[in-house]
Amino acid sequence: MANGDIAGAQPAKTQLRVGRLVKAHGLKGAFKLELYTDDPDGRFTPGSTFTLQVPESSPWHGRELKVREFRWMNSHPVAFFEGVDDRNAAEELVKAILWIDQDSEAAPAEDDAWYDHQLVGLDVVRDGAVIGRVARVDHFPAQDLLIVRMAGEDREVLVPFVGAIVPEVDIDGGRVVVTPPAGLFEELPAEADDEPEPASSSDDSDDETTDAPED
């Protein structure tokens, strides 16, 4: 999992992605959450403030949310935020992603989490050979993507940042190891026709026999 960087004055700050507002819950502005943190009870304490990732067209663009209450309901995380007082207001924020400031020098809280600036520039290794370099990290609700600039080529490949495809991230070694499925980095060869070309049958040959030359 990657955590997004933001530009800012020194000391440098990064932003840690901690959750997504999945859907409105009830009539009082609550949300069911999708969590991207191993410490939700610590991250969502009352008063915690999050930067919102929403479309620019959203009335919430550029604003923050402050936690009013966090609870578990039937094993599902549910949160209330200040200024979101009813279901209509909550519906406007569905699918928003929540980010929180953190010092760039601090290590991510999760063992399998890295900041974008730690990943950008790493060599991408496949079968022991360097095939490219991480150009950037894109974040989407479903998953993160490593954008790999291929070595010696003017193209980029979008690599799902999941353990099955990126089993190793070695920050100290300056590399990520990939085990991609067929076709992710190269075009698959065209499939040969399973049916052979029909062979010429004897019925298609000339019916006339060749006479022996006359004396």
Q: Tens of pLDDT along the chain (215 residues)?
A: 565 543 333 334 567 788 899 999 999 999 999 988 878 888 999 999 999 988 888 999 989 999 999 999 998 999 999 999 999 999 999 999 998 887 545 555 555 677 777 888 999 999 999 999 999 888 776 788 999 999 988 899 999 999 999 999 998 899 999 999 888 887 655 555 555 555 554 454 444 444 444 54
Q: What is the pLDDT of residues 38-81, one digit of tens each?
A: 788 889 999 999 999 888 889 999 899 999 999 999 989 999 99
- Rounded CA-CA distance 164/178 in Å is 9
Per CATH, the homologous superfamily of domain 114-177 is PRC-barrel domain (2.30.30.240)
- Cα distances from 160 to residues 23, 25, 65, 76, 80, in angstroms, run 25, 30, 29, 26, 32
Return the structure tokens found at 121: 């520039």
Cis amide prior to 189 (ω within 30 degrees): no
Contact status, residue 169 vs residue 134, Cβ threshold 8 Å? no
Return the structure tokens found at 33: 């959450």
Per CATH, the homologous superfamily of domain 2-103 is RimM (2.40.30.60)
Instruction: Give which of 89, 116, 111 is closest to 17, Cα–Cα.
Output: 116
Return the structure tokens found at 128: 């022991």
* Domain positions in the chain: 2-103, 114-177
Return the structure tokens found at 15: 């932003």
Instruction: Give which of 116, 153, 150 is closest to 133, Cα–Cα.
Output: 150
Contact status, residue 160 vs residue 145, Cβ threshold 8 Å? yes
Instruction: Give which of 31, 38, 46, 33 is closest to 3, Cα–Cα.
Output: 38
**3-class DSSP assignment, residue 60:** coil
